[in-house]
Amino acid sequence: MELKNVAAMVTTLAMSVAGLALGGCAADMKKAQGTVAQIADLLPGHYTNAGQADADAKAGRQPHEAKSIDIVRLDLPLLSDYAFYAEEGTLDGMHRITSQRLFTFEAVKDGTVVQRLYTFAQPGRWRDGLNDPGVFTGMMFKDFNAMSGCELLWKQDGTKLLGANSRDTCRVSSTSLGTVRTDMKVELSGDELAMADLAYTAGGKLVEGNANDPFTRFERGGR
């Protein structure tokens, strides 16, 4: 076989392989974009875990604190087309705010969906965001900080969407616990949002959360 024919065959083969790779990447990206759109459709709403707290009390188990969580989607192109604000509070008469979260979702070309988390420089400034998400349009980069190393990777698992971070890289500082390694997991399906948030010392001692029953199981609606 002439050398020029061999070269032509090699070139054709390389182009075919490249085409398959590009096609695979495009398919992976499309799948990831579909997953992000599905999360964005399911996630917003008002949830409580009152049913879980009541069941714990009746069964005599270590109780999960009765809480609510409200999630709204934001128009925040500064960060992402898929940005959300979540505010968590107790279900007691005081309704204390226990957590405020800003997060985004991004589809990556390898088929991965990445959730990025941010903390607020002035959390109290954004508490009216549940009733008026428009207040977030005035946000600037100085108003929030990325929680580097705490990104959650999401995937589809049957009828559920699952997200999890890496405990090895997610290090969070708090006034009461110092610097801890945080293990976060999320399960989203239909009208349920389950969230687990465990904190460990550098030596691996659990200092926050219940490893035996880590998930707070929120149901859409409720009191």
The pLDDT of residue 3 is 55
Q: What is the pLDDT of residues 121-136, one digit of tens each?
A: 999 999 888 989 999 9
Q: What is the pLDDT of residues 57-116, one digit of tens each?
A: 999 998 899 999 999 999 999 999 999 999 999 998 778 999 999 999 999 989 899 999
The pLDDT of residue 175 is 78
Give kind and range of the element (H or E) at residue 4: helix 3-42
CATH number at residue 127: 2.40.128.590
Give me the domain span that covers residue 118.
3-220
| Nearest C-alpha neighbor of 85 from the set 52, 125, 113, 37 | 125
| Nearest C-alpha neighbor of 186 from the set 206, 208, 157, 207 | 157
Domain count, the chain: 1
Is the predicted pLDDT of residue 208 greater than 60, yes or no?
A: yes
The mean pLDDT value for 37-51 works out to 96
CB neighbour list of residue 164: distance below 8 Å, 6 or more residues apart: 152, 153, 184, 185, 186
The mean pLDDT value for 186-202 works out to 95
Is the predicted pLDDT of residue 10 greater than 70, yes or no?
A: no
Which has the minimum average pLDDT: 139-143, 163-167, 208-212?
Answer: 208-212
Is the predicted pLDDT of residue 8 greater than 60, yes or no?
A: no
Q: How far is CA 175 from the centre of its chain?
A: 24
Tell me what the pLDDT averaged over the chain comes to: 89
